[in-house]
Structure 1
């Protein structure tokens, strides 16, 4: 893979206040795509090239299923070919998507998370948005549907980048891209985003304060942060540090209470901090499907007591906090 798939987006970016960082972003992407990037990348690129053409249809970004909606159903042959080709990019974790009747029922009902935060956001109209750890870009599409002017998604997992490109093969919008970068790969000094989302990332960071400071630096003064993460139920400033795995995940480091997280955000320079949702993750929201056949949340909970993980720790509760850079 080279820079070609990213050029239309980078050209859009160059027309914004983020233009000074275009060359740095290009260099970072090229480095990530260098020799040995991923052994399966050639096979994924072949799948991209073999995606079938679909009949004309309307792009849908404001419904739970992002995708295409047209008056005519796909032929059985085209739908079978589309399904088989997209399945070569398994597992599909974030969604759902629908392409002219083909339903990609992903592991996560990511639309439920969007519904919890959408009404609490400052309007995204015309905003420059960054989505950190965006996966295949489902929420980034919803941000674009909510009026964002440009959305830059970043995720270091190359499969998710290819999945985004598969969906964008049909939706075809240059105002959005998923770059194969982690937050640590961004050019030094990059800043100027109006809104930054960090959802499902915070608890994977060894240094939570450093992550909050990084997010603050990416925002323009007065810009808005949307932080979604695992939290510990209860009041006060308690923090759970799992001694080993948490819900079978190796890389969960800190799970604070909402109260503690508010203090951390304040210490890192954020103001107007508010929790807009706290929800227990259910087996209906995260589960195995045909499009994600590996183990999922039901396998990670205590079969006798779903309020606990298989390790005997409190089961996942997630909170969404919104704050402003001071």
Structure 2
């Protein structure tokens, strides 16, 4: 249903990625197994039922937008397919006249980092925990040679496949149904590795930093975005229960603490390029994500705190080189 042959060919011909190419077909088959994920057949049906549309204009530099003029029947069929994959969390997308307003304004995050990171031109990029691949498209639009996103959620992988089909081109970007632990050790192949919104979900932060470093060629750049707390070096919040209603949040370090962790794990020139509170304008419920969102996770009497009384979400972006 999802064709990875172009990616397999690219990996096979790459001197440092060929060993991954040998095991990747089995990994993708397992990651998209309808026996493991009962909703997958319906999602695949929605993908299959999408209309074939020849785009008039594609813009990946200023957003993720594909435009053409559709008749009412084709537009309705497209809308039905996209709605079958609700909730849509990362975006937004402009798709042949449909404004797909996602839970997150992921474009705001990209705008905060795009001028700070190394230029994407001709870079081989890995995006860890990429969701439905919104930022992968922005990386490609900024000039990346090839972008590979990984995310273990099959819903997100099928959402990405929908967008790729709508763009109507064989573009050098893919999203694989994998977590970082599925990658061979010490690839040392990517020019840039992104990890955005993943770090605080990892039980072992040092191990995650070492996994990220192992993906990068010498001199390659890490772009790490995560939840942080205000505080001095050595200060870390380890929520005893949930954080903002999430039960899989393990470590929220202060900015100085995370900088020291990056250095300890062998990264060079670790630095902070953005620190920004997450607001209910950036993360909220929409018609494309109808469930609880950030406003429901904050203290209704003091929105600077989470429901549990922890400091409200602040996200920081760090850069460092391998």
Which TM bucket (shorter chain)? over 0.9
Equivalent residue number for residue 321 of structure 2:
324
Q: CA deviation at 1:55?
A: 4.0
**Which runs of no fewer than 5 residues in structure 2 stay unpaired?**
none
Equivalent residue number for residue 151 of structure 1:
147
Check the 8 A contact 2:103/2:288 in 1, yes or no: yes
Q: CA deviation at 1:245?
A: 0.4
The answer to whether structure 1 residue 51 and structure 2 residue 50 are counterparts is yes
Check the 8 A contact 1:132/1:198 in 2, yes or no: yes
Q: CA RMSD in A?
A: 1.4
Find the partner of 2:228 among 231, 235, 241.
Answer: 231
Check the 8 A contact 1:24/1:187 in 2, yes or no: no
Equivalent residue number for residue 25 of structure 2:
26
1:151-178 CA-to-partner distances (Å, cap 9, x unmatched) read 1100000000000000001123341100
Q: CA deviation at 1:109?
A: 0.2
1:24-74 CA-to-partner distances (Å, cap 9, x unmatched) read 22232223234622001111110001001224322110123x03034xx32
| Matched length | 320
1:169-188 aligned at under 5 Å gives the runs: 169-171=165-167, 172-188=169-185
More off after superposition, 113-122 vs 79-88: 79-88
The answer to whether structure 1 residue 87 and structure 2 residue 83 are counterparts is yes
Question: Given the two structures, how large is their TM-score scaled by the length of structure 1?
Answer: 0.95
Q: CA deviation at 1:76?
A: 2.5
**Which runs of no fewer than 5 residues in structure 1 stay unpaired?**
none
1:204-249 CA-to-partner distances (Å, cap 9, x unmatched) read 0000000000100110111100000000023332100001000000
Question: Given the two structures, how large is their TM-score scaled by the length of structure 2?
Answer: 0.96
The answer to whether structure 1 residue 300 and structure 2 residue 297 are counterparts is yes
The 3-state SS of whatever aligns with 1:264 is: helix
Check the 8 A contact 1:12/1:174 in 2, yes or no: no
Check the 8 A contact 1:28/1:186 in 2, yes or no: no
Distance 1:14 1:59, change over 3 A: farther
More off after superposition, 268-277 vs 19-28: 19-28
